[in-house]
Amino acid sequence: SKTTIAVLHGGRSGEHEVSLRSAASIMDGLRDVGQYEVLPVFISREGIWTLEGVRVAILPEPGIGGLYVLEGEKAGEVIPVDVVFPVLHGTYGEDGTVQGLLELARIPYVGAGVPGSAIGMDKILMKAGLLAAGLPVGPYLWFTVADWEENKKQLLKQIEEELAFPCFVKPANLGSSVGISKAYDSAQLEKAINEALQYDRRVLVEKMLTGCEIECSVLGNDRPEASVPGEIIPCNDFYDYSAKYLDDNSGLEIPAKLAPETIKKVREMAVQTFIALDCAGLGRVDFFVDEKTGEMWIIEINTLPGFTSISMYPKLWEASGISFNELLQKLVKLALERFSQKE
């Protein structure tokens, strides 16, 4: 019999649109494989879950084992689910919240568990975790909205002295570059911080890193493997939301043209990042690599990276010998494997 996979998509984050695109590709791929029954579960921007227009829910109670129908003829019935694929990017999806619900409901799911998802989404905690593991992170500062309101002048001065211009301002929890700005002077910095504070109570400011932007895909549970790395060539000043999804002029160089020893180091560090942050299933690690100085920094991991057929995550696996559909099969298998370890 077929394995039933509920594909969660949409969601309450600023990356709702991106999720719809990833999910369309993933659902096509899963259907192509033939051995799966796909249940498309749409989550509205308000957080309402529907399966083909009918409200459904996962209840935080073990033993129900599927989607509980909330309305209509089948109200009160349960549609069994074998695996959930949360194709959700950003808050309320990639950050451990949905993963926590699935843990309570005891339903296997693709990707990292609660701590890996939460730490991977929070750039402040993520950097702390990477530094604790001895992994390279560029200079940065972080503060809360309260710090900002009380010590604005002092913070602006400290940022300018310690990080210089231009610098990158980011909300702690988000993705797709939403809320991120590159600030070239003090006035832009202040504006950028206020902008980032629209998305989160905590903000970080990073020194601008040099070299090229490299990404590496990781796949596995306890023995994760890294793909060949790829390079991002953004069409804008940096890889902002429009360079990622709207302009269509950004380039991907796969594999990245780096020295063999640099490639080896990137792959090793991608795996170390994945393990240090307690990830599972999949993750895409973003780097800056400066071959002139020999320096290398990890900017972040994405525990549910963009996943259309032209996204970096599956493209890097394709270049490493794993097709899009094979990748999906491996992810489902990894989800079931991890679940059976916990039982």
Which residue ranges make up the site for ligand ATP (CB under 6 A)?
138, 168, 170, 174-177, 180, 206, 208-209, 213, 234, 238-239, 286, 299-300, 302
Question: Is 305 exposed, middle or buried, given 0-12, 13-18 or 19+ CB atoms closer than 10 A?
Answer: buried
Cβ(243)–Cβ(235) below 8 Å: yes
Interacting partner of 312 out of Mg ion, ligand ATP, none (Cβ under 5 to 8 A depending on kind): none
Residue 299 CB, nearest distance to Mg ion (Å)?
Answer: 6
Interacting partner of 168 out of Mg ion, ligand ATP, none (Cβ under 5 to 8 A depending on kind): ligand ATP
Residue 197 CB, nearest distance to ligand ATP (Å)?
Answer: 16
Q: Hey, which residues are catalytic here?
A: 15, 176, 245, 284, 286, 300, 302, 306
Q: Considering beta carbons, is residue 107 or 204 the nearer one to Mg ion?
A: 204
Element containing residue 313 per DSSP (H, E): helix 312-319
Interacting partner of 174 out of Mg ion, ligand ATP, none (Cβ under 5 to 8 A depending on kind): ligand ATP
Cβ(10)–Cβ(41) below 8 Å: no
Cβ(11)–Cβ(43) below 8 Å: yes
Q: Which residues bind Mg ion (CB under 5 A)?
A: 175, 286, 300, 302
Residue 121 CB, nearest distance to ligand ATP (Å)?
Answer: 9
Q: Considering beta carbons, is residue 82 or 215 the nearer one to ligand ATP?
A: 215
Q: Which two tokens stand for residue 240?
A: 């902002």
Residue 202 CB, nearest distance to ligand ATP (Å)?
Answer: 14
Interacting partner of 206 out of Mg ion, ligand ATP, none (Cβ under 5 to 8 A depending on kind): ligand ATP
Closest-by-Cβ residue to Mg ion is: 175
Cβ(227)–Cβ(282) below 8 Å: no
Cα-flanking dihedrals φ and ψ of residue 317, to 5°? -70, -35
Residue 82, CA distances (Å) to 97, 279, 280 in order: 20, 21, 18
Q: Considering beta carbons, is residue 5 or 304 the nearer one to Mg ion?
A: 304
b or e along 126-154 (b: 16 or more beta carbons within 10 Å of the residue's beta carbon)? bbebbeeeebebbebebbeeeebeeeeee
Q: Considering beta carbons, is residue 206 or 318 the nearer one to ligand ATP?
A: 206
Interacting partner of 208 out of ligand ATP, Mg ion, none (Cβ under 5 to 8 A depending on kind): ligand ATP
Q: Which two tokens stand for residue 290?
A: 């400066």
Residue 266 CB, nearest distance to Mg ion (Å)?
Answer: 15
Q: Considering beta carbons, is residue 85 or 199 the nearer one to ligand ATP?
A: 199
